[in-house]
């Protein structure tokens, strides 16, 4: 091999390695990737893959925690905490359930602990109500009846509802939020809260009875 050939070969190799490095630097879009693949990547040390899981589930988790706390700032802190907890213990995640079920459980349990320690902020900071409510059949039917609730504004109704929910015990509030607001099944709630379906049903029954009493003026 002549010196010229050797030089050309060396140049080719260097060009190849530069191309490889550039390829590695490119941001990989994993937004369409399945949870299992993302979790496997995070467990293998690709920490950036966790960002896609955060982006995917932040709003759903926020909604759950917000309905339980009725407070923006608490909800934000608790969801952040849940993601941090999930990230730091992702190696212990055995993939026996879906990632969402796992992090949902973390978020709900952290929220319940937070509420039971009495650390929640006492004042409400409620989210706005979106415009879709005007076309929600449940809401339309509710407002069609002649009752005091027609006289009060939507914001007042929202405040009364949140105040009534906050008067329930943490466990009762959790099942109402998960079942009646978010539409989870009894079985899923039982798994998330580590209790039987019977317990979930019983808590729901008593929570609804209590809510009926608290919101008697608006029913």
User: What is the footprint of other proteins within residues 199-218 (CB under 8 A)?
Assistant: 201, 204-205, 208, 211-212, 215, 218
Q: Which position among 22, 94, 132, 194 is part of the footprint of other proteins (CB under 8 A)?
A: 132
180 binds other proteins per the rule CB under 8 A? yes
Binding segment for other proteins (CB under 8 A), chosen from 3-11, 37-45, 58-66, 98-106, is 58-66
* Widest pairwise Cα distance in the chain: 98
CB 28 within 8 A of CB 74: no
Question: Could you tell me which of 47, 42, 48 has the C-alpha nearest to residue 28?
Answer: 48
Buried b (16+ CB within 10 A) or exposed e, 132-160: eeeeeeeeeeeeeeeeebeeeeeeebbeb
Binding-site size, other proteins (CB under 8 A) = 49
Report the sign of the C-alpha dihedral through residues 163, 169, 170, 171, in that order: negative
- Per-residue binding string, other proteins, 22-51, x by CB under 8 A, is -----------------------------x
Q: Which two tokens stand for residue 194?
A: 């580590």
**Least distance in angstroms from the C-beta of 103 to other proteins:** 13
x/- site string to other proteins, residues 99 to 128, per CB under 8 A?
---------------------------xxx
Do residues 145 and 177 make contact, with C-beta atoms less than 8 angstroms apart? no
Binding status of residue 176 toward other proteins by CB under 8 A: yes
Contact (Cβ atoms closer than 8 angstroms) between residue 42 and residue 87: yes
3-state secondary structure at position 155? helix
Residues that bind other proteins (CB under 8 A): 51, 54-55, 58-59, 62-63, 66-67, 72, 76, 80, 83-84, 87-88, 126-130, 132-133, 136, 138-139, 141-142, 145, 149, 154, 157-158, 161-162, 165, 176-177, 180-181, 201, 204-205, 208, 211-212, 215, 218-219
């Amino acid at each position: 091999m002549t010196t010229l050939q050797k030089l050309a070969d060396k140049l080719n190799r260097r060009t190849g390695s530069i191309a490889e490095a550039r390829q590695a630097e490119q941001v990989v879009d994993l937004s369409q990737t399945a949870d299992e693949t993302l979790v496997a990547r995070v467990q293998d040390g690709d920490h950036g893959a966790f960002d896609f899981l955060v982006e995917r589930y932040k709003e759903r988790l926020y909604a759950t925690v917000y309905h339980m706390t009725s407070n923006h700032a608490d909800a934000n802190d608790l969801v952040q905490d849940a993601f941090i907890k999930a990230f730091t213990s992702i190696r212990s995640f055995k993939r026996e359930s879906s990632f969402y079920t796992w992090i949902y459980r973390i978020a709900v349990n952290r929220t319940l602990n937070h509420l039971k320690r009495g650390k929640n902020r006492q004042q409400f900071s409620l989210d706005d109500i979106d415009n879709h409510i005007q076309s929600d059949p449940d809401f339309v039917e509710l407002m069609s009846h002649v009752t005091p609730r027609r006289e009060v504004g939507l914001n007042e109704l929202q405040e009364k509802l949140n105040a009534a929910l906050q008067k329930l015990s943490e466990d009762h509030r959790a099942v109402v939020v998960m079942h009646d607001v978010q539409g989870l099944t009894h079985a899923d709630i039982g798994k998330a809260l580590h209790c039987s379906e019977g317990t979930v049903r019983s808590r729901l029954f008593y929570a609804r009875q209590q809510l009926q009493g608290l919101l008697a003026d608006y029913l």
